[in-house]
Structure 1
Amino acid sequence: MNTKKKYATVEDNPLYHDTWALLKNYRDAVWNLELAVQQVRNTFELEYDTTIEEFLESVYAAGASLDGTDIENYAKSIARSKKMLDLLNNAVDTLRSKHKHGEQYYWILYYTYLCPQQLQNIEEIVESLRPHILNISRRTYYRKRPEAVEALSAVLWGYTNKDCLKVLNQFFPTNKPQS
């Protein structure tokens, strides 16, 4: 008897929810990060009549600390956002170069979620995929898109398929032998 819980769509499966949410918000996160960096740079140049880089060099050369300042808080916030985007981009690159269907999955994820300008509809996405995936149709796209997200989830969050736990336990038993 099959004990796996069925979900209406892969998007409904809680194992992949974080990946779907991350992908759906990717363009906004990139845009917001770029705006935040630009805003900090502009504010700095207006207030201090210097670039951030020059300011930081002078602060560090003088031995001063920025602990607890707004500048430090902005820098930390931007750094966290950048790390999150770098993590996703590195995972996508790993998927593309290492997975057996990586190149196809990459283009599906790119045109669906990652390209700078969101395409208007599925027809535009499928048309954009045609140079990269031979004989792609709407039906194939809808079948492969959840596979691509599932593969990316495995890269991002680790391989968590419960069916493989038995095999892993054979190689790496959780019960340590008593001495």
Structure 2
Amino acid sequence: MPNTRPNKNIPTEQENPLFHDTWKLLKNYRDAVWNLELAVQQVRSTFEIEYGSSIEEFLDSIYLAGADIGGSKLEDYAKSIERSNKMLTLLNSAVDILRSKHKHGEQYYWILYYSYLSPQQLQNTDEIIESLRPHIANISTRTYYRKRPEAVQALSSILWGYTSKDCLEMLDKFFPTGK
């Protein structure tokens, strides 16, 4: 059976755990955003009902009174929301860096956006490609499937940095060992 892999230089999920982590992060992005928004809204509503004030007013009054909420369910919930928010902020920052600094950043951004990051998930590849057409001239299904793993790999290198193997290969190109 012939190898139908579009680009043999781009590792698959099985070959590179960091690539796998980025794929997983992207595939769960919409759900994470939705869950974070729901959690924040739920906490705000609960506070307004139970305490008759906003979270910010409540926390200000606790701090002014010198009360400690350490170890409470409230603190655990707030830390969970904060952790999720930091993860989403990190991913969004990495996507912004990719878009503005990478040589194919604009194309990669739109591929990632319509594939994983847009608020509404598109129904299929044809819809994604149709949405990409204003941003990427002459994009075909084959081009999309070739560029998508490249975009994920580029984002992965921003999120996790170059692996030591990547660095060694790069150093060998600049400073051959003369074998």
Shorter-normalised TM range: 0.7 to 0.9
Contact 1:91 1:152 in 2 (8 A): yes
Once the two structures are superposed, the pairs formed by residues 61-100 of structure 1 within 5 Å of their partners are: 61-100=64-103
SS, match of residue 103 in structure 2: coil
Aligned-pair CA distance for 1:166: 5.3
Asked if 1:109 is matched to 2:112, the reply is yes
Structure 2: stretches of 5+ with no match in the other structure = 1-7, 175-179
Q: TM-score, normalised by structure 1?
A: 0.86
1: CA distance between counterparts of 2:139 and 2:63?
A: 55
Aligned-pair CA distance for 1:78: 0.3
- 1:127 is aligned to 130
Q: 1:40 to 1:147 in 2, by over 3 A?
A: same
Q: 1:127 to 1:167 in 2, by over 3 A?
A: closer
- 2:35 is aligned to 32
Q: 1:107 to 1:48 in 2, by over 3 A?
A: same
- 2:14 is aligned to 12
Matched residue count: 166
2: CA distance between counterparts of 1:170 and 1:65?
A: 57
Of residues 55, 62, 66, the one that matches 2:58 is 55
Aligned-pair CA distance for 1:53: 0.5
Q: Could you tell me which amino acid in structure 1 is paired with residue 15 of structure 2?
A: N
SS, match of residue 34 in structure 1: helix
Contact 1:7 1:13 in 2 (8 A): no
Give percent identity, aligned residues only.
73
Aligned-pair CA distance for 1:165: 1.0
Contact 1:96 1:102 in 2 (8 A): yes
Asked if 1:142 is matched to 2:139, the reply is no
SS, match of residue 79 in structure 1: helix
Aligned-pair CA distance for 1:162: 1.7
Contact 2:10 2:149 in 1 (8 A): no
2: CA distance between counterparts of 1:148 and 1:111?
A: 12
Structure 1: stretches of 5+ with no match in the other structure = 1-5, 172-179
Contact 1:111 1:129 in 2 (8 A): yes
Structure 1 runs of 4+ with >6 Å offset: 6-9
2: CA distance between counterparts of 1:136 and 1:47?
A: 54
1: CA distance between counterparts of 2:166 and 2:64?
A: 56
Q: 1:170 to 1:63 in 2, by over 3 A?
A: farther
Q: CA RMSD in A?
A: 2.2
